[in-house]
Homo-oligomer: A and B are copies of this chain.
Amino acid sequence: MEASCCEVSAPDLAEFFGAHLQERVTLGNVTLDQLKERFTDPRSPTLPISVDEYLDWLGREVLPYAVNVSSKKFIGHMTSALPDFMPELSALVARLNQNMVKVETSKSLTFLERQLVAMLHREFFPGAERRERIQDPGHVFGLVVSGGSSANITALWNARNRSLLALGLTKAEILECGAYELLRQRGYEGFAIITSPLAHYSIRKAASLLGIGERNVLHLKQDAAQRADSADIEAKLEVCRNRRLLVLAIVGIAGATETGTIDPLEEMGRIAARHGTHFHVDAAWGGALIFSDKHRRLLEGIQHADTITLCPHKQLYVPQGISLCLFKDSQSVHASSVHSAYQGRHGSFDFGQYTLEGSRPALFLCLHAMLCIVSKRGIGALVDQGIEATRFMADVIERHPAFQLIGAPEINILNYRYVPRHLRHKSSHSPEENRVISEAVKVIQERQFLQGKTFVSRTEILSARHCSEKITVFRVVIANPLTTHQDLRDTLAEQLEIAAETETHAEEMSS
């Protein structure tokens, strides 16, 4: 451990995290190996200490080494600066400590959450009948869950049961016999999911939970813009028929985690409807575009979705822990409900009968506040700004000889890579050369995180234009409204500096 790391005092911390405008991403040059050495004592304290002593320790030993995800130069993951009222509201949520699992521990909050869900439902499904049903316990327009993974699992759990109902089976039979026994009775060999190759890995988590092998998660071909090729759906459905697999859902992505890509939802939805197959749209990231008059059209077709995943803790600027699974048909939730005697009774308002999770906080209040205080128009402006900034950065990258843009960004996520000097003037690269480029990207990205001044993430994607194997690319996510064009230039400049040092170092080593 460097001595300097230990000298950060509590007041420094306040400066470090007190203002979203602080520029650093992390305290520089503290490695994970250095940090982990500090947290190896498994003993719990036997005797009390004061709150001040604890906060002082926390401020000295832990928080300075966290990540300032609010930094305007942190443009690598789906976290951003939040409105200033969010911490206060989070404190209120903790103080109230309502448990949304049942109405006896939340009362008015249950009704407000139901209203909030209906408000979001209205944005995505404008034509649906709603007002009379918002507070009818037989109708559920969506569920508030803790994150996008839970929302995707919820959607596919529901879709699986609905696929069995569509075979003429009853809910009681599904509960009593289980999905697989019924599936076999009907002569199927298994379930399948058809989705984009860029689907979030929680789709595979859901498959694993539901007992579905990854070979039954069929990935559609990609078009030139890395979108799922809807023309491939019929072929995949044919594969499933031949293998006697019941397709529980076709899953489209609105804002892929790695590339920001939006699948052709309109066509996917139409094909799903034609086959009576559940259509799920993972709009965890891209769902926020619904609030932008300018970019809403990119979501065209999302209204065909049977279920939608939306993560307000991503692009709706609320703290971690708030996502939703929306249901087009407000009665379809009953396909996957589970009841008990002490709560979640049939016909009650208790959310616990429907949610994967049981006890949960009233964090939805942060989202409700965001919608009321910042409003649809304000959120739309934030979305527009991120997309504009991303286009600017793409433009800078494209004009710089050291960088290679990988695909034009559809929204506010972009991929590019750094190409070492000796590989720049080639129109294409061999697999071996691509490995060299990928390694350079990896080294730069790790060094950049360590230095802590700017940050982008990295991933591995298929880009037919560049290589038949996966290549490592930088991944930029621009959602922080405080991020300026200069911040984007600074980020690229730091990468060039690191690259120059690395290449000089490599030359020195080889000379």
Contact = CB atoms under 8 A, between A and B. Distances in A.
A18 B223 CA distance: 57
Contacts of A187: none
Contacts of A89: 94
Contacts of A357: 146-147, 149-150
Interface in A87-123: 87-100, 102-109, 111-112, 114-115, 118-123
A178 B359 contact: no
Interface in A2-51: 17, 26, 32, 35-51
A271 interface: no
A46 B377 contact: yes
B179 A358 contact: no
Contacts of A378: 48
A509 interface: no
B149 A358 contact: yes
Interface in A55-91: 57-58, 62-67, 69-70, 76-79, 82, 85-91
A455 B105 CA distance: 11
A338 B40 contact: no
A118 B42 contact: yes
Given A32-B107, A177-B213, 14 more contacts: A41-B115, A47-B377, A57-B372, A62-B109, A67-B107, A77-B99, A87-B92, A87-B95, A97-B319, A178-B207, A204-B338, A205-B338, A209-B356, A210-B211
27 contacts: A39-B108, A39-B115, A42-B121, A43-B119, A44-B122, A44-B123, A44-B371, A45-B371, A63-B108, A66-B109, A67-B98, A77-B105, A91-B94, A98-B320, A100-B320, A146-B150, A146-B357, A149-B357, A175-B208, A178-B213, A201-B339, A201-B340, A209-B210, A311-B359, A320-B360, A321-B360, A341-B459
